Amino acid sequence: MREPVLITGGAGFIGSNLVHRCAQEGIAVRVLDDFSSGREANLAGAAGRVEVIRGDLRDAATVAAAVRGVRTILHLAAIPSVTRSVEDPRATCAVNVDGTLHLLEAARAERVARVVVYSSSSIYGESPELPKREGMRAEPISPYGASKLAAEALASAWAKSYGMSIVSLRPFNVYGPRQDPTSEYAAVVPRFATALLRREAATIYGDGLQTRDFTFVEDMVEATFLAARWDGGAGEAFNVSGGSQTSLLELHALLERAVGVRCPPVHLPARTGDIRHSYADTTAARAFGYTPRVGLEAGLLRTVEWFRATSATPVL
């Protein structure tokens, strides 16, 4: 990875974990974030040289200023919620698609050495074929998934049209420390974990038999660094996952064990746009050295301990 590094969405969940990794390695890092979902608290304690620019991807001038002088870009900033995208598809596409276009054009003008674009496992949609492989036809079923596929396509086209060094990653259900459980659109792991820590019934949308391939954030950070430091793969996209298929009922049981409490979940109707089954083949990511290292049980234990240590509300 060539420094200085720009991390868009660097105050968010995965972005802030990347910032802390950069700080640990002494890498100069600049963060671009509008703080609509990111939090300043996520950046607390990041030693080293961290510059923060508060700005919006939809403002091309702000994006150009943030890109000026950087050598590597890790592009995570997005409106990340499937549910929110169904409610407000225009905002989702304005940030995830137009914002990515602004970033790529700024990177081209600045001759940035390497760009890593975060796509999503949502691009695969409801195809019954498992595991999901990069060569499969993309069939997103939500505006969010479609916006991520469009952003990925832009990244590939800019790599091929302008000779830029750009690679896309398709994360599968990342979880871990610094993930926000309070958001209306919070992911399932922090929602389950914090509910159980308070001895409250967690909510499962649907029957709970839907499956996911959960990825510990430390593995996601490692994959991102490996991809950023790799010279290959320009214009390509790669799955990144934890490498196991787990139902939401199984996840809930594992979190009950991690917390040390028994509290059955409640079920509500399934949500529009939610995918039934998701499981990744990560063979292609071995090209840049990625293999998952943190198993689900170990990752959940570390996540629960982080919530215990940081919660402002009394928990178990």
pLDDT tens, 264-309?
Answer: 999 999 988 888 999 999 999 999 999 999 999 999 999 999 999 9
Taking residues 50-76, what's their average pLDDT?
A: 97
- For the chain, the residue count is 316
Catalytic residue among 118, 144, 279, 290: 144
User: What's the pLDDT score for residue 314?
Assistant: 45
Q: Which string of DSSP letters, residue by residue, matches the chain?
A: -PSSEEEETTTSHHHHHHHHHHHHTT--EEEEE--SS--GGGGTT--S-EEEEE--TT-HHHHHHHHTT-SEEEE--S---HHHHHH-HHHHHIIIIIHHHHHHHHHHHHT-SEEEEE--GGGGTT---SSB-TTSPP---SHHHHHHHHHHHHHHHHHHHH---EEEEEE-SEE-TT--SSSTT--HHHHHHHHHHTT-PPEEESSS--EE--EEHHHHHHHHHHHHH-S--TT-EEEE--S--EEHHHHHHHHHHHHT-----EEEPPPTT--SB--B--GGGGGGT----S-HHHHHHHHHHHHHHH-SS---
pLDDT tens, 213-229?
Answer: 999 999 999 999 999 99
Closest CA to 31 of 1, 59, 57: 57
Closest CA to 149 of 120, 107, 116, 129: 120
- Mean confidence (pLDDT) of the chain: 95
Taking residues 71-87, what's their average pLDDT?
A: 95
Closest CA to 121 of 293, 279, 291: 279
pLDDT bracket for residue 186 (50, 70, 90): confident
pTM of the model: 0.95
Residue 234 has pLDDT above 60, yes or no: yes
Residue 99 has pLDDT above 80, yes or no: yes
User: What's the pLDDT score for residue 105?
Assistant: 98
Angle at 148 between CA 248 and CA 249, to 5 degrees: 0
Closest CA to 252 of 241, 242, 266, 268: 266
User: What's the pLDDT score for residue 287?
Assistant: 98
Angle at 251 between CA 75 and CA 173, to 5 degrees: 10
pLDDT bracket for residue 47 (50, 70, 90): low
Quote the percentage of the chain above a pLDDT of 70: 97
Q: How many CA atoms lie within 13 A of 75 on its CB side?
A: 37
pLDDT bracket for residue 316 (50, 70, 90): low
User: What's the pLDDT score for residue 198?
Assistant: 95
pLDDT bracket for residue 182 (50, 70, 90): confident
Contact 140, 148 (CB under 8 A): yes
CATH topology of domain 180-212+244-278+294-310: UDP-galactose 4-epimerase; domain 1 (3.90.25)
Closest CA to 149 of 57, 85, 105, 224: 85
pLDDT bracket for residue 313 (50, 70, 90): very low
Quote the percentage of the chain above a pLDDT of 90: 90
Residue 174 has pLDDT above 90, yes or no: yes
Residue 121 has pLDDT above 50, yes or no: yes
First-to-last alpha carbon distance for the chain, in angstroms, is 41
pLDDT bracket for residue 310 (50, 70, 90): confident
Strands 246-247 and 211-212: antiparallel
Least confident of 11-20, 161-170, 183-192, 296-305: 183-192
CATH code of the region 5-174+215-240: 3.40.50.720
pLDDT bracket for residue 183 (50, 70, 90): confident
Least confident of 9-23, 88-102, 177-191, 281-295: 177-191
Cis peptide before 4 (omega within 30 of 0): yes
144 is a catalytic site residue: yes
Distance CA 101, CA 89 (A): 17
For the chain, which residues make up each domain, given as ranges? Answer: 5-174+215-240, 180-212+244-278+294-310
Q: Which residue type occupies 196?
A: L
Contact 298, 306 (CB under 8 A): no
